[in-house]
Chains A and B, each alone.
Chain A
Amino acid sequence: DTGVSQNPRHKITKRGQNVTFRCDPISEHNRLYWYRQTLGQGPEFLTYFQNEAQLEKSRLLSDRFSAERPKGSFSTLEIQRTEQGDSAMYLCASSARLQSTDTQYFGPGTRLTVL
């Protein structure tokens, strides 16, 4: 059973650098989500794809953030000109719209530290 995978698991970068994270969803899941989790808090919704279409972006996503899901498979989340406030765990989840209620399955996350 292959779950959601994320790479890298950890990323340390200097302020002002660009970083890119990758998420591989569960095979055949048509929905993909990005969340951000800071220490001591629950995950917060960032954005959502259905197949290759990005259907919603949270106001938490400034214009320095961009996400893509080419061909409706894996997804990338890029942060340009990183700031210390971007330090967080970035979580990816996927789901399949098979029943009336989606269940989202989460990956292990990418922990970003901005120095």
Chain B
Amino acid sequence: GENVEQHPSTLSVQEGDSAVIKCTYSDSASNYFPWYKQELGKGPQLIIDIRSNVGEKKDQRIAVTLNKTAKHFSLHITETQPEDSAVYFCAAPDANAGGTSYGKLTFGQGTILTVHP
């Protein structure tokens, strides 16, 4: 099955700095890589995702990059703000031999991001 490793486990930055969180995955057939943000007391919420046919995707201050050869993808947040403080999770699906299952989804261990004003 899929194995997803996420680093770092905690990240502390000053407001206005950039933050980068990296995930590696093991299943070379995986082709969908989402990032979720979890605020205190809430369920995770999708903030950005990328499919394997592109190498980078941006949405305002947030970007995700994908390196399929190295099997890693990263979340980049620029000009961080205090409201970016949250727990961030990456994930990757378990693609079965036929590449059509996608029922199972494996999450990384999470990164606690703290943005100091």
Co-assembled chains A and B: no
CB within 8 Å of B: which residues of A? none
Chain B positions near chain A (C-beta within 8 angstroms): none
